[in-house]
Structure 1
Amino acid sequence: MSEITVRALTEDEWEIYRTLRLEALQDAPEAFVADHADEADQPEDFWRARMRRSVRLVGEADGEYVGVASIGDATESESEDGGQLFGLWVNPTWRGAGVAASLVSQSAKIAEDQGFARLFYWVGSDNGRAVAFASSFGFRPTDQRRPMRVVGESGPEEEIALVLALGEDRAS
Structure 2
Amino acid sequence: MGMNEIHVRVLDKDEWATYRDVRLRALRESPEAFVASAEEEEAFEDSVWQERMERSRRILAVDGEDVIGVVSVGTGHRTGIPGAGELFGLWVEPPRRGSGVARRLMEKAARVGREVGLKQLVYWVGTDNGRAVAFASSFGFRPTDDRRPMRIRGVDEEDADSEEMMMVYPLTDTGGVPTSL
With the length of structure 1 as denominator, give the TM-score of the two structures. Answer: 0.91
Deviations 1:134-156 (A, max 9, x none): 11111101111111122654332
Q: 1:158 aligned to 2:163? A: yes
The secondary structure found in structure 2 opposite 1:167 is coil
Which sits farther off after the overlay, 41-50 or 137-146? 41-50
Which position in structure 2 is the counterpart of 1:11?
Answer: 13
Runs of at least 4 residues off by over 4 Å: 168-171
Question: How has the CA–CA distance of structure 1 residues 103 and 168 changed in structure 2, closer, same or farther, with 3 Å as cutoff?
Answer: closer
Does structure 1 retain, via aligned residues, the 8 Å contact 2:55–2:75?
no
Q: 1:20 aligned to 2:22? A: yes
- What is the CA–CA distance in structure 1 between the aligned matches of 2:145 and 2:166, rounded to whole Å? 7
RMSD of aligned Cα (Å): 1.8
- What is the CA–CA distance in structure 2 between the aligned matches of 1:114 and 1:69, rounded to whole Å? 16
- What is the CA–CA distance in structure 1 between the aligned matches of 2:92 and 2:159, rounded to whole Å? 25
- What is the CA–CA distance in structure 1 between the aligned matches of 2:51 and 2:126, rounded to whole Å? 28
- What is the CA–CA distance in structure 2 between the aligned matches of 1:61 and 1:162, rounded to whole Å? 29
Q: Which runs of 5+ in 1 are unaligned?
A: none
The secondary structure found in structure 2 opposite 1:46 is helix
- What is the CA–CA distance in structure 2 between the aligned matches of 1:57 and 1:25, rounded to whole Å? 16
Q: Which runs of 5+ in 2 are unaligned?
A: none
Deviations 1:64-87 (A, max 9, x none): 11111000034354x211111000
Deviations 1:84-136 (A, max 9, x none): 10000011122122111110110011101111111111101121111110111
The secondary structure found in structure 2 opposite 1:97 is coil
Q: 2:133 aligns with which of 124, 131, 134?
A: 131
Deviations 1:27-56 (A, max 9, x none): 111211211111112221111011111000
Which position in structure 2 is the counterpart of 1:80?
Answer: 82
The secondary structure found in structure 2 opposite 1:71 is strand
Matches within 5 A, 1:40-59: 40-59=42-61
Q: How many residues align?
A: 170
Q: 2:35 aligns with which of 33, 36, 40?
A: 33
